[in-house]
Structure 1
Amino acid sequence: MSGDTSSRKVKRFSESDRGSDFDAATQKALEEIDVCQNEIDNINEKASEEILKVEQKYNQLRKPFFDKRNHIISNIPNFWITAIMNHPDLSALLDDSEEDCLHHLTKLEVEEFEDIKSGYWIKFYFEENPYFENAVITKEYHLGCATPTSESTQIIWKEGCTLGQISETSRGGRKRRHEPSKTFFGWFNDNIDPYTDDIAEVIKDDLWLNPLQYYLVPDVEGDGENNGMEQDDGSSSSDIEETGDDDENKSASQRGRSA
């Protein structure tokens, strides 16, 4: 942070600025502003350090409850796949095969690096399944360097199973190389740009913090039931039309007797 601040100060009030066209009063005022800004930057840097210590403290306080929560979740079949499928941003990732695969997901875990700002892990734990051999697959984010990077566990696919990839066929019928698709495992294997990884942020900052809210999303199917309730009195549009016809016939008969 201090490196960024110093570079901004040079741009804001460099030596060349001191010999510019400002009059003496303005020049003095600008120098005083620069001194104030230096103090503000120093305070901001100290604040970041203090905030980091607080975050580290509360991460340690939260961890036993995250562990306890995961232990309880392990007794609920299909908890994580249900929460994922109910999540508006994550459900769109899964095709049918991936949804079936994630029924074998037994635990999800997000763990920040000790200094928090430099990165985190997202870990997916699986029971034995027909798709791959790994018991745990991990995606690791390194954000505290000049060029952020991410790494993914190499998945050991079982014969005939390679989820998250598609093969395209050219016009000449020759297959092109496999390319990651917009699916869960396509995301998992994509390590191009960690800073634009919205899925990781959703998992880390939303799903992981409170998965229960998504597991308990009510079933919204059957919205058409209200339409049936509206006609519970036995009436219908055809009944109304018939009633109207009867009234007209009665009125015509009464007019005939009056004549």
Structure 2
Amino acid sequence: MAEVDHAALEANKDELEAIVKLTEKAELELALKRNELMTPIFEKRREVIAKIPKFWPTVLQMSHAVSEMSEPRDVPALDHLTDVWVKYDPKDPRLFDIILTFSENPYFTNKELVKKVRVRPGEDGQDEPFSEDFKINWKEGKDLTNSKRKKDELDSASFFEWFTDDDASLAQYFALEFFAEALSIYVNGGEDNMDDDDDDESVDLEGSEDEEEEEHPKKKSKK
């Protein structure tokens, strides 16, 4: 079994650390450039999908990672979701706000629920992402995260508990994948039907039926 040459690593430690720093700097610049290019595209997308009824509630249910965060009791509240936006810090793409906008509803008074992701020094000296706590102003008797709810309603956490969780891992997925690929998720009927190598927002609005018809002879030819 191959083994790591620790002596060689130690001998070249300074040079390797310099390479790591250069890599991090390049990745930061790439992320900033991507945000610069994609923001106006997402703004245009925002205008168009606003014309599609319940676009965001539908996409939430189509995404495995996001739907697993929610329970059936969350659905009526999430049906009031009208917009999702990710606002990045112009100088540091690691810092961003996920902004969920809701229409007036019987559950809470907030017009916007915000998931803020920031960074802080970790135990190893490296910056680590975390999420700031956000207060949801629940209307009386409508708190979907209330610990006084019946036990059988608390087997899984509510989607809205995400706003008080300091774990930023799902927030990063939400911003970098769910938000970025929302149109593709919607058009393809879920993440399972998306091509793994599809890295852009291009979607086929007419070809799905033709593709299904073509799949059958291809499968027969393999027999």
Superposition TM-score, scaled by structure 2 size: 0.68
**Who wins on radius of gyration, i.e. which is larger?**
1
* Alignment match of 1:215 (pick from 173, 178, 186): 186
1:69 maps to 2:45: yes
User: Following the alignment from structure 2 to structure 1, what is the Cα–Cα distance between the partners of residues 30 and 177?
Assistant: 21
* Alignment match of 2:136 (pick from 151, 155, 164): 155
Structure with more relative contact order (C-alpha pairs < 8 Å, separation 6 or more): 2
Shift of 1:120: 1.8
Cα offsets for 1:79-124 (capped at 9, x unmatched): 0110111112222332233111111111111223234354221110
SS in structure 1 of the partner of residue 121 of structure 2: coil
SS in structure 2 of the partner of residue 77 of structure 1: coil
Q: Quote the sequence identity (%).
A: 28
1:99 maps to 2:70: no
SS in structure 1 of the partner of residue 65 of structure 2: coil
Confirm or deny: 8 A CA contact 1:180 1:190 kept in the other structure: no
Alignment RMSD? 2.9
Cα offsets for 1:175-222 (capped at 9, x unmatched): xxxx8951201222223xx25x4x323312221111123223449xxx
Q: Which residue of 1 aligns with 2:65?
A: 89
Q: What is the correspondence of 1:107-256 to structure 2 with a 5 Å cutoff? A: 107-116=83-92, 118-146=94-122, 148-167=129-148, 181-191=156-166, 194=167, 197=169, 199-218=170-189
Confirm or deny: 8 A CA contact 1:84 1:214 kept in the other structure: no
Shift of 1:153: 2.6
Q: Which residue of 1 aligns with 2:56?
A: 80
Confirm or deny: 8 A CA contact 2:117 2:171 kept in the other structure: no
Confirm or deny: 8 A CA contact 1:138 1:152 kept in the other structure: no
User: Following the alignment from structure 1 to structure 2, what is the Cα–Cα distance between the partners of residues 37 and 44?
Assistant: 11
Shift of 1:42: 1.9
Q: Which residue of 1 aligns with 2:26?
A: 50
Confirm or deny: 8 A CA contact 1:165 1:180 kept in the other structure: no
CA, structure 1 residues 108+180, in 2 after alignment: closer, same or farther (shift >3 Å)?
Answer: farther
The one-letter amino acid paired with 2:185 is Y
Confirm or deny: 8 A CA contact 2:71 2:157 kept in the other structure: no
CA, structure 1 residues 204+163, in 2 after alignment: closer, same or farther (shift >3 Å)?
Answer: same
Deviates more, 1:104-113 or 1:144-153: 144-153
User: Following the alignment from structure 2 to structure 1, what is the Cα–Cα distance between the partners of residues 18 and 95?
Assistant: 24
SS in structure 1 of the partner of residue 104 of structure 2: coil
Shift of 1:129: 1.2
User: Following the alignment from structure 1 to structure 2, what is the Cα–Cα distance between the partners of residues 154 and 85?
Assistant: 24
Structure 2 residues without counterparts, runs of 5 or longer: 1-5, 123-127, 191-223
Superposition TM-score, scaled by structure 1 size: 0.59
Number of aligned positions between the proteins:
178
User: Following the alignment from structure 1 to structure 2, what is the Cα–Cα distance between the partners of residues 149 and 33?
Assistant: 32
Confirm or deny: 8 A CA contact 1:141 1:150 kept in the other structure: yes
SS in structure 1 of the partner of residue 114 of structure 2: strand
